[in-house]
């Protein structure tokens, strides 16, 4: 399948950014989008620091790339460890030009009423605070190199979060982090961008929507083209191409573009319809019965 063509949001870009020889740190690089991304960027000439909570997976990703790559084990929720990782990368390669905060998880399906507070905290700690822990200690290097930061949000940031609200909440907050960072870095010549994805064929998606009865029912509610899935490689290529344009925003698949542009209007109607939909109410009741 060909990669999606840039849409209106994809074209909100700055000057061309040649990544050849640039040092790139990617979290969540042991599998899925992150694993595909480090391969694409390495083939384009970048030096790679592949970071993952699974150190063995991070090292495998780096070993497969061969030269100009290293694998590092780190938990993005560990602030001190992430500061150490940034130091290790700059000590080894002498600089850091690009950071992609990609690590993330999905919650156990539950409503806000029935979820375990610890599940909420876990998702926010990884998906939001983990992004801050990755980006914050790197910013002096990014400013010094006039580099680029990508934070991975999701189209879930502007979709209703029934049964999985911690994920949507975290991704909406990451969007705001990325927007603030773009403005704050502008005076230094560095840039930041936000990556949004709909459904991506990853182990996380399969566990949430395909291997679970309620997940399949929720997936069936999605209308075309919002139900269209892309591969992890396509998602990674979208990020890589966005980096080369210093894009403020990238979004895939393309069916989410109108939703992203018109969400203020669409969400007003959609929230009301979902709240009144009998099938949605049945799913919510079924989710709550599980707890």
List, by residue number, the catalytic residues.
167
**DSSP state at residue 128:** I
Provide CB contacts within 8 A for 106, sequence distance 6+.
123, 164, 167, 204, 207, 208
DSSP bridge partners of 25: 49, 99
Answer whether 69's CB lies under 8 Å from 50's CB. yes
Provide CB contacts within 8 A for 117, sequence distance 6+.
none
Provide CB contacts within 8 A for 198, sequence distance 6+.
154, 155, 226, 228, 229, 230, 252, 253, 255, 256
Smallest CA-to-CA distance from 11 within 259, 251, 233 is with 251
Cα 118 from Cα 116, distance rounded (Å) = 5
Dihedral sign for Cα atoms in the order 159, 192, 206, 229: positive
What is the total residue count of the chain? Answer: 291
């Amino acid at each position: 399948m060909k990669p999606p063509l840039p849409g209106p949001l994809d074209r909100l870009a700055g000057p061309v950014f040649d990544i050849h020889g640039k040092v790139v740190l990617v979290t969540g690089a042991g599998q899925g989008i992150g694993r595909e991304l480090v391969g694409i960027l390495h083939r384009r000439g970048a030096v790679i620091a592949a970071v993952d909570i699974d150190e063995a997976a991070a090292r495998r990703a780096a070993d497969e790339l061969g030269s100009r790559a290293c694998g590092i084990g780190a938990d993005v929720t560990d602030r001190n460890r992430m500061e150490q990782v940034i130091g290790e990368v700059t000590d080894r390669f002498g600089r850091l030009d690009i950071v992609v905060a990609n690590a993330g998880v999905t919650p156990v399906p539950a409503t806000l009423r029935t979820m375990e507070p610890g599940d909420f905290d876990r998702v926010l700690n990884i998906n939001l605070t983990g992004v801050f822990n990755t980006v914050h200690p790197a910013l002096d290097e990014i400013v010094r190199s006039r580099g680029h930061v990508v934070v991975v949000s999701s189209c879930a940031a502007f979709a209703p979060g029934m049964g999985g609200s911690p994920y949507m909440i975290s991704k909406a907050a990451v969007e705001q982090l990325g927007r603030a960072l773009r403005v704050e870095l502008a005076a230094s010549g560095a840039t930041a961008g936000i990556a949004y994805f709909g459904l991506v064929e990853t182990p996380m998606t399969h566990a949430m929507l395909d291997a679970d009865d309620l997940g399949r029912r929720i997936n069936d509610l999605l209308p075309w083209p919002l139900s269209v899935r892309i591969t992890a490689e396509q998602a990674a290529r979208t990020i890589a191409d966005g980096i080369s344009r210093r894009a403020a925003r990238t979004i895939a698949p393309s069916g989410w573009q109108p939703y992203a542009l018109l969400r203020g209007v669409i969400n007003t109607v959609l929230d009301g319809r979902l709240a009144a939909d009998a099938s949605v109410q049945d799913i919510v009741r079924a989710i709550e019965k599980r707890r």
